[in-house]
Structure 1
Amino acid sequence: MRLTILGCSGSIPGPDAAASGYLVEAEGFRLVLDLGNGTLARLQAECDPFELGALVLSHLHPDHCADFSALTVLRRYHPAPPYDVRQRRLPVYAPLEAPARLANAYAPHEAERLRTDLTDVFDFRVFPPGQVRIGPFEVTAVPVAHPTEAFGIRLSHAGRTLAYTGDTGPCEVLDELAAGADVLLCEASWADAPDRPAGLHLSGRQAGELAARAGVGRLLLTHVPPWTEAAAVLAEARAAFPGPAQLVEQGAGYDV
């Protein structure tokens, strides 16, 4: 598997930095995990968005799905798409409310809100229990701790595993999600402190402790907001996790 960072700024886009979005490739199949503010621009620098095989949204906060509206415009109004997009709708795996909420975000005005339907170009699918096959990937979605319905995502291919926390506070299911993963792509939104709100995000220390407990091969830290000192988050993670750990960078690629 090849992981490419479309954006990794936490909560909001940063200066010249897109929010959360990740391209995962194997056997010529392209899957995108999250499509936050600014990520469609980076995706176009990596590949033709019409070549996507599937889109997976961990949750519906804007920094993880805002560019879905732009992707809708592309799929509906490109003057010369490479195929009939209404015959090859893009599979979108997302929380239950995705069709309605994403339609609301796209609606041109209030009068159109309830009549806007995106299923002409997208095939919405709710995360099933257990494992599902998406292209060459075996994918498992696990509910995590966040103020909205949110999932951590585990992708396996050819004996290799990438675990992605999405946005989450500490919760027991993260150990299952990350167990033995070759790469853990883990949010770390702040430095550790006793007054951090529960059920929202992980600190650098908590990300490192998770990686250590789960026995992962490599820790990649993401979702650091522009107002957080990234070096402090990384230092916490490295103090808690004895393996290789680094902050991801927009545009960078990582082999899993």
Structure 2
Amino acid sequence: MTSDLLRLTVLGSATPYASVDSPCSGYLVSGGGARVWVDAGSGTLAQLQRHVRLDELDAIWISHLHADHSADLLTAYYGALFADVRLTAPIPLYGPRGIADRLAHFLTNTEVRSPIESAFEVHELHDGHRVRIGALTLTSRAVAHGIPAFALRVEAAGRSLVYSGDTAPCANLTSLAEGCDVLLCEADSAQPPAEGEQVHHTPEEAGDTAAAARAGRLIVTHVGRSLSPGQAVARAATRFDGPVDHAAPGATFPVG
């Protein structure tokens, strides 16, 4: 395996809080020498450092502002500015509208606003947002989670990885994942809600989304605590004929 290959490293996949065995949602996506921290759930910064320092990241991408996907941005801020990290420039940070103010709200302790922009070069996502980061092309689509939330497609050298973030099944995710090599899809819900707005996939729905998108491989993640990873994989496999895996913490998956 070389740095040129597109690959996914799982930093954590627990929800809604870290377990003794897994941090919350966070992934390192790399290829062509570029490295992007995708979601920064609680506990993921510690695992990120097994692979890359903060000052070696090319970007951070955040799907939505629930704490199990973004809380470690708070400690990353302190690490970037007040420890052993020496940034040559703020780290590009891509996230939903208002992410800078949300961070400042938590981090400011006096009348003077904490200098969020000294640590992060903030870019707000919108539906269809696209950016080139080294050899990687990142495309974001708005998805159905009840708050501003995005899914991500990463492409490099003809290979593609799609990450659902948190979302109910929706057309934007299926369209974004069309023909991808790997779909990393949440499977939080044991069953669809009896009433009210649905904001997550069941394992079966993750399989349906992978099949509808003609994905090459499905990796289920963000598995709810009422399910075991094995149960989630088995249930997703009843709806998707391709390979199905679980996003186990520490696992690395080559894409394509």
TM-score w.r.t. the length of structure 1 is 0.92
CA distance in 2 between counterparts of 1:63 and 1:26 reads 25
SS in 2 for 1:206: helix
Give 1:198 deviation, angstroms.
Answer: 2.8
SS in 2 for 1:221: strand
Give 1:227 deviation, angstroms.
Answer: 3.6
SS in 2 for 1:93: strand
Q: How many residues align?
A: 249
Q: Percentage identity across aligned positions?
A: 38
Structure 1 consecutive aligned stretches of length 4 or more whose deviation exceeds 3 Å: none
* Deviations 1:99-131 (CA, angstroms, capped at 9, x unpaired): 000111223x3x44x722300121001125442
Match of 1:241 in 2: 240
Change in 2 beyond 3 A, CA 1:143/1:223:
same
Match of 1:226 in 2: 225
Change in 2 beyond 3 A, CA 1:196/1:33:
farther
* Aligned residue runs from structure 1 range 1-256, under 5 A: 1-79=6-84, 81=85, 83=86, 85=87, 87-107=88-108, 109=109, 111-112=110-111, 115-127=113-125, 129-193=128-192, 195=194, 197-256=196-255
Q: Which residue type is aligned with residue 39 of structure 1?
A: T
Q: Quick check: 182-191 or 42-51, which moved more?
A: 42-51
CA distance in 1 between counterparts of 2:42 and 2:161 reads 23
SS in 1 for 2:238: helix
Change in 2 beyond 3 A, CA 1:240/1:154:
same
Report if aligned partners of 1:14, 1:226 keep a CA contact under 8 Å in 2.
no
* Deviations 1:197-242 (CA, angstroms, capped at 9, x unpaired): 5331100000000101110000000001334333332221000000
Change in 2 beyond 3 A, CA 1:12/1:46:
same
Q: Quick check: 43-52 or 152-161, which moved more?
A: 43-52
Change in 2 beyond 3 A, CA 1:118/1:182:
same
CA distance in 2 between counterparts of 1:61 and 1:36 reads 9
Tell me how large the CA RMSD over aligned residues is: 1.6
CA distance in 1 between counterparts of 2:93 and 2:219 reads 25
Q: Which consecutive residues of structure 1, in runs of 5 or more, have no partner in the other structure?
A: none
SS in 2 for 1:174: helix
Match of 2:3 in 1: none
TM-score w.r.t. the length of structure 2 is 0.92
Change in 2 beyond 3 A, CA 1:196/1:154:
farther
SS in 2 for 1:234: helix
Give 1:55 deviation, angstroms.
Answer: 0.2
